[in-house]
Amino acid sequence: MKKLTAEFIGTFWLVLGGVGSAVLAAAYPELGIGFVGVALAFGLTVLTGAYALGHISGGHFNPAVSIGLWAGGRFEAKDLPGYIIAQVLGGITGAGVLYLIATGKAGFELGGFASNGYGDLSPDGYSMTAALVTEVVMTFMFLIVIMGATHKNAAPGFGGMAIGLALTLIHLISIPVTNTSVNPARSTSQALFAGGEWMGQLWLFWVAPIVGAILAGLVYKMMAPNED
């Protein structure tokens, strides 16, 4: 239960901090954060969450990360359901708190609520194929960084920094394409509030990150098994 609570809180923080920066701040040019600020916000939530909660649960905060670590031999299959449920519930709770805050301003329009999408729902109009490739590749590289930074031979104490910076870079690359998912819990939390077409496209933001994560887990396990 301690591990599941940590995963709930970590995913809550990721959605509230990362998506919150997009919904509450990036929409206002005078605040000056833009895409770069949103990318940094996502990276900072993971970095801070990893150092605060990683020693309790491993600091996954993402179903794709848990599944990728399982594929790489770093995580027990029996723990997957509990972790994934805790992550999704944490994300939804974060989105709920964000919704309560955002709707406290007169004239607020929900719109896509920083949801992920392709085609007409892509921030810059990218196709489903482009979105699929982007999410698979970005999640693949995210898991490569995670598995390398947390390997038994990696420099201790720097894993959270490397992972947070990797997520920042991923957002800098892919926000224009899909609004960046690489995290099914993050995508689900926003789509549930946005509804409609965003819910219809949610499947891609489960399938693509999971495929990318499994491929990364298998590849890294082949390159550098985390064995004594």
CATH assignment of the domain containing 218? 1.20.1080.10
Q: How many domains are there within the chain?
A: 1
123-140 tens-digit pLDDT: 999 999 999 999 999 999
Q: Is 118 a member of any domain?
A: yes
The pLDDT score that the predictor gives to residue 30 is 66
- Is position 91 within any domain? yes
Considering the chain, what percentage of its residues have pLDDT values greater than 90?
Answer: 82
| Residue 176: inside a domain | yes
Radius of gyration of the chain (CA): 17
User: Mean per-residue pLDDT for 96-108?
Assistant: 92
Q: What pLDDT sits at residue 106?
A: 86
Cβ partners under 8 Å of residue 118, min gap 6: 126, 127, 128, 130, 131, 132, 177, 178, 201, 204
> Residue 220's pLDDT is what?
93
Name 35's Cβ contacts closer than 8 Å, sequence gap at least 6.
26, 171, 172, 175, 176
Residue 109 resides in a domain: no
Task: Give the tens place of pLDDT for each residue, 158-176.
Answer: 888 999 999 999 999 999 9
CA-wise closest residue to 40 among 60, 59, 25: 25
Amino acid in the structure at residue 172: L
As a whole number of angstroms, the distance between CA 105 and CA 7 comes to 30
pLDDT given at position 79: 96
Q: What is the pLDDT of residue 124?
A: 95
CA distances to 14, 19, 114, 133, 178 from 194, rounded to whole Å, are 18, 13, 9, 24, 15
CB 183 within 8 A of CB 174: no
Residue 216 has pLDDT above 90, yes or no: yes
Amino acid at the residue 160: G
User: 184 CB contacts (<8 Å, ≥6 apart)?
Assistant: 62, 63, 64, 88, 205, 206, 209, 210
Is residue 228 over pLDDT 80?
Answer: no
Helix (H), strand (E), coil (C) string for 36-99: HHHHHHHHHHHHHHHHHHHHHHCCCCCHHHHHHHHHCCCCCHHHHHHHHHHHHHHHHHHHHHHH
Q: Domain span at residue 63?
A: 2-104+114-223
Specify the pLDDT at position 35.
Answer: 86
What is the tens place of the pLDDT at every residue in 39-91? 999 999 999 999 999 999 999 999 999 999 999 999 999 999 999 999 999 99
Average pLDDT score over residue span 208-225: 94
Count of CB atoms within 10 A of residue 111's CB?
11
In a domain, 228, yes or no: no
Query: Pick the residue with more confidence: 225 or 67?
Result: 67
pLDDT tens digits, one per residue of 18-38: 999 999 887 666 666 888 999
* Average pLDDT of the residues of the chain: 93
pLDDT at 31: 65
